[in-house]
Amino acid sequence: MAKKRNCRRDPKERTEHERAVALKKMTDRQLLEHMDRQYKAGFDAGSIGIETAEQESMRKIIKTITSIKGIGAATLAKINTALEAI
**Cα-based distances in Å from 62 to 51, 67, 73, 76:** 16, 9, 12, 8
> pLDDT per residue over 44-74, tens digit each?
777 776 767 777 888 888 888 888 888 888 8
Contact 54, 62 (CB under 8 A): no
Task: Render 62-77 in DSSP notation, one character per residue.
Answer: HHHHHTSTT--HHHHH
Q: What is the pTM of this model?
A: 0.43
Proportion of the chain in helix, strand, coil states, percent, rounded to 5: 80, 0, 20
> pLDDT per residue over 19-47, tens digit each?
999 999 999 999 999 999 988 888 877 77
